Amino acid sequence: MIFSKKRKTGVAIGGGGVRSLSSIGVLRHLENRRLKIGYISGTSMGAISGALYSLYQSADKVEEQIRKLVSSSAFKRMRDEFTRRIKSSPDERGSKIIEKFQKYYSQIYMFKRIVADKSIIEGKHIRPVVDYLLPDINIEDMPLPYSCICTDIASAEKVVCESGSLRTAVMGSISIPGVIEPMKNGGQMLTDGGSVSLVPVEEVRDMGARYVIGIDVSSYIERVEEFKSGLEIFARASRVTGRELHKRIIKNADLVISPPVKGIYWADFNKLDYCITAGESAAYGISKKI
């Protein structure tokens, strides 16, 4: 099948850390099918992959830039800062750090830290990574129509970034609450857009897309038999609320591609190769539906 040139197709890339980079494989398959993407939007890490695709309009180039980032000194410094903040013994390295951070975050230990601090890591450790990847341009000047989603925690409102500084918008969209401090932008305090729109289906449709492909990389909510505290129950209920909102949003896409990456922890960049391959395989598996 050759896609109709008249079809205004948009791609909405969901948030999920390294899982979002499975979008590279999805986009590569869509390119191979000669689909012309007219609009792209992303949330959190999806905001980064979407921005790179808008700039280069090539999945191969997006992958090249991400791989350069992962091997860069800017990424290493950010990773080392995460490690320093959560490390409790000098012999913990590699996957043990990822495992410790996953436990630290998912079991609510993070909340004990942010009682005193606003976040685990300051924005100054994240900004060099964004600056390394993205040029200092405005969103309205990007080659392919692009937007990304943030949450303004000051006003408790969704912010759809379609103009203004690309770097500032992406910084806001990737600022995971409690992990990365909010991005100040005038009177706004921008945080991860996953709180309001994990996969920005309606936002990319509002940009002009008539056919929307959603890339959903949301994580599992595992069954839990016992809770140790009321705080754990509260956090669990919040996740359930988020999942139900997400289900209502994603059903509005014309096509949903869900790479088999839901069990991968969002900060485990050792799984980058797997995520990209999984994205391409998932897109190939449902290509007849497009």
Write down the pLDDT at residue 90.
41
Q: What value does the mean pLDDT take over residues 3-15?
A: 77
Name the residue with higher pLDDT: 99 or 141. Answer: 141
Q: How far is CA 171 from the centre of its chain?
A: 11
Nearest Cα to Cα of residue 48 among 240, 259, 266: 266
Write down the pLDDT at residue 5.
47
Percent of the chain at pLDDT above 70?
A: 79
Write down the pLDDT at residue 266.
84
Q: Are 36 and 96 in contact (CB under 8 A)?
A: no
Q: Are 36 and 213 in contact (CB under 8 A)?
A: no
Q: What is the pLDDT of residues 173-216, one digit of tens each?
A: 999 887 788 899 999 999 998 889 999 999 999 999 999 999 99
Q: What value does the mean pLDDT take over residues 150-158?
A: 95
Q: What pTM was computed for the model? A: 0.84
Exposure string over 98-121, b if 16+ CB within 10 A, otherwise e:
bebbeebbeebebeebeeeeebbb
Asked whether the predicted pLDDT for residue 108 surpasses 50, the reply is no
Write down the pLDDT at residue 220.
67
Write down the pLDDT at residue 257.
94
Q: Are 171 and 7 in contact (CB under 8 A)?
A: no
Number of C-beta neighbours around residue 203 at 10 A: 27
Q: What value does the mean pLDDT take over residues 62-74?
A: 94
Give residue 154's pLDDT band: very low, low, confident or very high (50, 70, 90): very high
* Cα 83 to Cα 46, 130, 133, 244, distances in angstroms: 23, 19, 22, 33
Q: What value does the mean pLDDT take over residues 106-118?
A: 50
Residue-by-residue DSSP string for 191-245: EEGGGT-SS-HHHHHHTT-SEEEEE--PPP----S--SSHHHHHHHHHHHHHHHH
Determine the angle formed by the axes of helices 23-32 and 59-70, rounding to 10 degrees.
160
Write down the pLDDT at residue 290.
58
Q: What is the 3-state secondary structure (H, E, C) of 42-86?
A: EECHHHHHHHHHHHHCCHHHHHHHHHHHHCCHHHHHHHHHHHHHH
Strand 211-215 relative to strand 157-161, pairing: unpaired
Name the residue with higher pLDDT: 164 or 111. Answer: 164
Asked whether the predicted pLDDT for residue 65 surpasses 80, the reply is yes
- In angstroms, the CA 10 to CA 183 distance is 27
Q: What value does the mean pLDDT take over residues 103-127?
A: 59
Give residue 91's pLDDT band: very low, low, confident or very high (50, 70, 90): very low
* Cα 141 to Cα 66, 94, 157, distances in angstroms: 22, 40, 25
* CA quadruple 177, 40, 239, 107: dihedral sign: negative
Length of the chain equals 290
Asked whether the predicted pLDDT for residue 275 surpasses 50, the reply is yes
Give residue 3's pLDDT band: very low, low, confident or very high (50, 70, 90): very low
Give residue 166's pLDDT band: very low, low, confident or very high (50, 70, 90): very high
Q: What value does the mean pLDDT take over residues 86-108?
A: 49
Q: Are 182 and 51 in contact (CB under 8 A)?
A: no
Burial of 70 (0-12, 13-18, 19+ CB in 10 A): middle
Residues 6+ apart with CB under 8 A from 223: none
Write down the pLDDT at residue 246.
72
Write down the pLDDT at residue 39.
97
- In angstroms, the CA 44 to CA 213 distance is 17
Asked whether the predicted pLDDT for residue 239 surpasses 80, the reply is no
Q: What is the DSSP letter of 289?
A: G
